[in-house]
Structure 1
Amino acid sequence: MIRSSSATLDNGLRIVHHADSYTPMVAVDLLYGVGARDEDPGHTGIAHLLEHMMFGGSANVPDFDRHTERACGWNNAWTSNDFTSFYSVVPAENIETIFWLESDRMLQPSFTSETFDVQRQVVIEEFKQTCLNRPYATLGHSLRALLYQVHPYRWPTIGLTPDHIASLTLDRVRTFFHANYTPDRAVLSVAGNIAFERVVELADKWFGNIPRGNVPRRILPAEPLPDAPRRLTVKGANEPQTSITIAYPMMAHGCEGYEAADIITDILAAGRASRFHQNLIAQGNVFTEADASILGSDQPGYIMVNGLIAPGIDNPEEQAEQTLLQQLSRLTDDGITPHELQRAVNRFESRFRYSKAGILAKAQALAKAAMQGYDINSVTARYRALNVDHVNATARALLRPDRSATLLYRPTH
């Protein structure tokens, strides 16, 4: 169990805290409820660019990293379609430095032309390296475009194209920041060797005078469910072998059936005892790799299966697709066994508890739970409450042929 306390400042900043007196350190995670989904379709990549720019200094902090390092700590950040996180770990006696740094860049980041030009070029180069020059790197782009027609999940966090990033202006970046990076859209999570009262005191001292944004939360368009199967074939430049992905729309995090969908992918592909490893890898010759996963998003996402097709087989793409579909049909027609469910739930609980062992992991988990409105200590109980009938019904509801999206990614050679 992760014991926690919480409070909310007058400006809407939510605070969550976990005390751990067995460590000399403190972890801080400032999680904003903004990500790539909040962008305009013609200006994608701005949230990720802002993540980079917010390390470029603020009104009273010319060098964010230098002050963190002088406090004997370290920091980093990430951006997703749903959220943006800035996190740090420092010795407990230096914790106030992090409150000062984070509050200063929430209130008044510098956003100079020099920082903008440098970081924009950095992000463009990152796009080229991660999306244009690596095998299967744009697979996510293609799959999102196949699955989503109106929802902003149709573009990835890094953006649709480097041209969108290149065309951004500093004024547009500033406008996006002031509309979204406000205390009432953030959670401040602190875990480690510090008392809750001290956390609230420091939060009020450093964040309390930052005005709330009062910006209406954006109402995102609901993605219509497909009424027929969708298919797309893409030829890539760097792919060593053909890959196939079959995806289906699924519910958002926190909705009925979410845990069952997650467990379905574990039964299919998690570990050497999984169906895919036993049937497709250990005893098959069609795939060299096979996997299953869910997007795990704040709004309706997708569940998918995918594999790398082995060379030297007859009709490789047709064989691969039929093999994957046979595995899914076996799941929906015959269902799972109690043993499979118990093994998958045990594996999930072990992985979940182990992943929350450190103070940074606890801070980040508590921040996400506060942002999405659930009790972190109820997660494993919800998975343990699953039964075979529920999981089987969820599989039949999700893995429908008429809602499938099939993506083939072929090498050019």
Structure 2
Amino acid sequence: MNQFNKFVSRSCLVMATVILAACSPGEKKGSESSFSVPVEYYKLDNGLRVVLSEDHTAPTVVVAVYYNIGFRIEPKDRTGFAHLFEHMMFQGSQNLGKMEFVNMVQKNGGVLNGSTRFDFTNYFEVMPAHKLETALWAEADRMKGLAITQENLTNQQGVVKNEVKVNVLNQPYGGFPWLDMPQYANENWYNAHNFYGDLADLDSAKLEDVDKFFKTFYAPNNAAISVVGDFDKEEAKKWIQQYFGGIAKAELPAKPDIAEPAQNKEKRFTKEDQLANKPAIAVAYKMPDRNTPEYFAMGLIDQLLVQGSDSKLYQKLVQEKGYTGGVSGGINYLGNMFNYNGPMLWMADLIHDANVPADSILKQVDQSVAELDNVTQEDLDMAIVKIRSSLYDNLGGVFGVGRADLLACFALFDDDPARINKLEDEFKKVTPEVIKKTASEYLRATNRTILIVEPKAVNQ
């Protein structure tokens, strides 16, 4: 299970995850890059970004509402507040009482979920196609007005604190490395604080904080809605205007500076884990900026180094050395390389045998990186096949939720959801020379952070 799915499984609502093969409604015979996602994009007068993507393969529809508020820019001294608020959004609205939203979706044969990420908080429903209007109405209802009460806040503070205890504090390798590494590798508080939330900060949240947060960030001009699946566009437009068009926009605060300073010295940290019975290590390198040639090169480097049993790190650390049974890694452990909008890390991690020194593992990492200097076009062609397969899996996953995710993110971050159809071409522009340049500039030891987990359970 990858880190994205691990995090989704921690959400307060359980969703049956069915990964479907990617469909290709825009397929053109004889074209090597045949997949094309239908995209219609526009904005309401109140600033709400709307993306429609028809796919009549199955009689289902996805409604996904994304708010441009995530872990990074939650208030200082309120760590975990963005995640706490995600829970609050299921506590009732103007016309739906507590859990009535959930019951309404499930009784109509649908599934739903919500999550908090670095740069957004999202909510989605997968419904039978004829229930599109119901889903749109319900999402608009809670955007218009949330049931913000002390009872709901106190209840959800307890739920989130228990979630932290179950998933992090009382788990071996809890928070490693998805939650831990950003705190060690980054310097800017917005990127480096405890996203899940310190228990004291969660306790100190006040009702007025929740009300202000909602009125500030859960406004239509800070949101995008994507609708994917079996629907009629004109009908969908009519309902979106009817239910969302009258919601007032908000005065949005200036976005904080989330830039990270350049790293020019290797950082190494050790974390004791009282519950772990084997050591673990994670290695993280700061990423290039999004949408640059080096960014796309890192996507292919990720495929070459850590994705799949043919990757260099798997071959060296598992097959050749036998240090571990598996290696995890990637860009953005709380999603994928496309659905974030700020500083990011490329990371690899593994749990390994106690008799293997960390430096032996790092030696294999360094050797794998050095081998990128000899990368060929044939190597890149294979990496493109892998990343193309991964992209298609994502776009077709969970009844179209993966597609809705990218469309909403590209609307929020780039004001251009149609760039979903340009991704393949960007990867194909990467040459062996760009790979070598990117590896030299970003996969240097002075640009990395090493986090070692030292087990204590076996020593007690």
TM class by shorter-chain length? over 0.9
2:403 to 362, 369, 372: 362
For residue 56 of structure 1, what is the aligned residue in structure 2?
A: 91
Equivalent pairs, count: 408
1:389 to 421, 433, 438: 433
Amino acid at match of 1:214: E
Deviations 1:41-88 (A, max 9, x none): 311111111111111101111121122234332211111011111101
For residue 299 of structure 1, what is the aligned residue in structure 2?
A: 342
Q: Secondary structure at the match of 2:380?
A: helix
Higher mean displacement: 366-375 or 122-131? 366-375
- Indicate conservation of the 8 Å contact 1:35/1:47, yes or no: yes
Say if 1:89 and 1:168 are closer, same or farther in 2 by CA, change over 3 A: same
Does 1:345 pair with 2:363?
no
Amino acid at match of 1:23: A
Say if 1:20 and 1:317 are closer, same or farther in 2 by CA, change over 3 A: closer
CA distance in 2, matches of 1:137, 1:201: 46
For residue 198 of structure 1, what is the aligned residue in structure 2?
A: 235
The alignment's TM-score, normalised by the length of structure 1, stands at 0.94
CA distance in 2, matches of 1:146, 1:339: 37
Higher mean displacement: 303-312 or 143-152? 303-312
CA distance in 1, matches of 2:324, 2:395: 34
For residue 224 of structure 1, what is the aligned residue in structure 2?
A: 261
- Indicate conservation of the 8 Å contact 1:79/1:157, yes or no: no
For residue 68 of structure 2, what is the aligned residue in structure 1?
A: 33
Higher mean displacement: 167-176 or 132-141? 132-141
CA distance in 1, matches of 2:284, 2:112: 35
Amino acid at match of 1:135: P
Higher mean displacement: 361-370 or 2-11? 361-370
Higher mean displacement: 401-410 or 204-213? 401-410
The alignment's TM-score, normalised by the length of structure 2, stands at 0.85
Say if 1:20 and 1:322 are closer, same or farther in 2 by CA, change over 3 A: closer
CA distance in 1, matches of 2:137, 2:276: 46
CA distance in 1, matches of 2:107, 2:363: 58
Does 1:10 pair with 2:45?
yes
Amino acid at match of 1:243: A
- Indicate conservation of the 8 Å contact 2:316/2:364, yes or no: no
Q: Secondary structure at the match of 2:326?
A: strand
Deviations 1:169-216 (A, max 9, x none): 121111112111110111111112212211111111101111111313
Amino acid at match of 2:425: A
Alignment of 1:223-372 (within 5 A): 223-295=260-332, 296=337, 297-313=340-356, 316-331=357-372, 334-357=373-396, 358-372=399-413
Quote the sequence identity (%): 28
How big is the shift at 1:329? 3.0
Deviations 1:102-141 (A, max 9, x none): 1111111011222111111111000001111222123334
Deviations 1:148-183 (A, max 9, x none): 122412135322x22211221121111112111110
CA distance in 2, matches of 1:306, 1:219: 30
Q: Secondary structure at the match of 1:44?
A: coil
- Indicate conservation of the 8 Å contact 1:287/1:320, yes or no: no
Say if 1:406 and 1:88 are closer, same or farther in 2 by CA, change over 3 A: same
- Indicate conservation of the 8 Å contact 1:151/1:220, yes or no: no
How big is the shift at 1:249? 1.2
1:154 to 178, 184, 192: 192
CA distance in 2, matches of 1:74, 1:46: 25
For residue 168 of structure 2, what is the aligned residue in structure 1?
A: 131
Q: Secondary structure at the match of 2:405?
A: helix
Which ranges in structure 1 are unaligned for 5 or more consecutive residues?
Answer: none
Higher mean displacement: 226-235 or 176-185? 226-235
- Indicate conservation of the 8 Å contact 1:287/1:309, yes or no: yes
How big is the shift at 1:368? 1.7
Amino acid at match of 1:324: V
Deviations 1:190-245 (A, max 9, x none): 11221221111111110111111131341324211123221111111121211122
For residue 377 of structure 1, what is the aligned residue in structure 2?
A: 421
For residue 142 of structure 1, what is the aligned residue in structure 2?
A: 180
CA distance in 2, matches of 1:301, 1:360: 23
Which of structure 1's runs of 4+ aligned residues deviate more than 4 A?
none
- Indicate conservation of the 8 Å contact 2:288/2:295, yes or no: yes
- Indicate conservation of the 8 Å contact 2:323/2:353, yes or no: yes
1:89 to 122, 126, 136: 126
CA distance in 2, matches of 1:92, 1:142: 41
2:136 to 89, 99, 111: 99
Q: Secondary structure at the match of 2:293?
A: coil
Does 1:78 pair with 2:119?
no
Higher mean displacement: 99-108 or 225-234? 225-234
How big is the shift at 1:319? 2.0
How big is the shift at 1:321? 2.6
Which ranges in structure 2 are unaligned for 5 or more consecutive residues?
Answer: 1-35
Higher mean displacement: 94-103 or 289-298? 289-298
CA distance in 1, matches of 2:430, 2:293: 11
- Indicate conservation of the 8 Å contact 1:244/1:321, yes or no: no
Higher mean displacement: 317-326 or 226-235? 317-326
Quote the RMSD (CA, aligned, Å).
1.7
Q: Secondary structure at the match of 1:139?
A: coil
